[in-house]
Amino acid sequence: MPFLSSADIAGALHGLSRVLRFDKEGFEYFDASARGLLKSFWLAVVVLPLYLIGVGLDLSVISDTQMVLDPVRYVIVKVIAYVIGWVAFPLAILTLSETLGFGSRVFHFLVPFNWLYFMVWNVLFPLKVVAHLGVLPTDFALFLTLITIVVALIYFAFLAREGLQVSWWSAVGVLVLSLTIDIFIETLQPLV
């Protein structure tokens, strides 16, 4: 898998900053190719340590309230779900892209999608930590998390609309597919 270069990172971050202002020109700064998509999966590697810290926090809460038979198995299941979570939706969209008429536009959507996913992780993680540490009241942290998710969904819909150049209804359909896959992955993770 090709590595991200500093030019890739700079271009994508600039493009993301423009997309976050709902500027369609932002899409031009991403490497909207199969190679660019592969490079964008390095973001999952960057986020993995944060995810593992989050799993550790979850495990400490679960251990206090429920019996976890095997913490190692729990972490392994969570890491496998993490990897599947990063690749399942892009694979589904790539598989359906010709049928749905997306063609090569699919890369104009998926590459920024991964970068936005990366950014959302970096916003949600601190909220999780401050909630766990009791810096913020749990209800307030959950409220901020909900707001972050709603705002992220709006941006993801914008990415689908402009990246795939489809109607808003089709963009929402793509978003529903993404959410369905995420919920399915979460549902399949047993409490071990």
Please report, in angstroms and rounded to a whole number, the separation of the first and last CA atoms in the chain.
32
Averaged confidence pLDDT in the chain: 90
Q: Where are the domains of the chain?
A: 6-188
Do 124 and 145 contact (CB within 8 A), yes or no? yes
31: its two tokens: 């490497």
pLDDT band at 57 (very low <50, low <70, confident <90, very high): confident
DSSP alpha helices (H): ranges in 26-137?
34-40, 42-65, 71-100, 106-133
pLDDT digits (tens, 9 = 90+) for 102-142: 988 999 999 999 999 999 999 999 988 888 888 888 889 88
* Number of Cβ within a 10 Å radius of residue 192: 15
Candidates 172, 178, 174; CA nearest to 97 is 174
Q: Mean per-residue pLDDT for 1-14?
A: 92
pLDDT value, residue 153: 95
pTM greater than 0.75 (yes/no): yes
